[in-house]
Amino acid sequence: MVCDKCSCEGVVLKTVRWRDGDRTFVLCDPCFGPLADSLWIVAGPVAAHGRCRVCGGWSSVRELVEQKQGGKWDAPSGVCQECLR
């Protein structure tokens, strides 16, 4: 998960959308704070993400295999479905 505004990475970021628009994006807490009045928080289908050790991408923990705890940012790490193929 990468914050759309500052590009920082985090295990759990807020999924939000503008109150007058349909586009959703993700924000970290520091970026969300000042914008809270203009945004709705969208309940995401996935609460926790893990890091793929092969491609470095974020994936739902349910889609990662060979998981290990304690990766970068304390996120679980594993291998995503894309890299399994």
Residue from 10, 15, 54, 60 that binds Zn ion (CB under 5 A)? Answer: 54
Tell me if 53 contacts Zn ion by CB under 5 A: no
Compare residues 8 and 12 and give the one whose CB is closer to Zn ion: 8
Tell me if 16 contacts Zn ion by CB under 5 A: no
Q: Return d(Cα 79, Cα 2) in angstroms, integer.
A: 18
Tell me if 80 contacts Zn ion by CB under 5 A: yes
* Token pair listed for 7: 């590009």
Q: Which helix (H) or strand (E) holds 65?
A: strand 65-68
* Token pair listed for 37: 């009045």
Tell me if 5 contacts Zn ion by CB under 5 A: yes
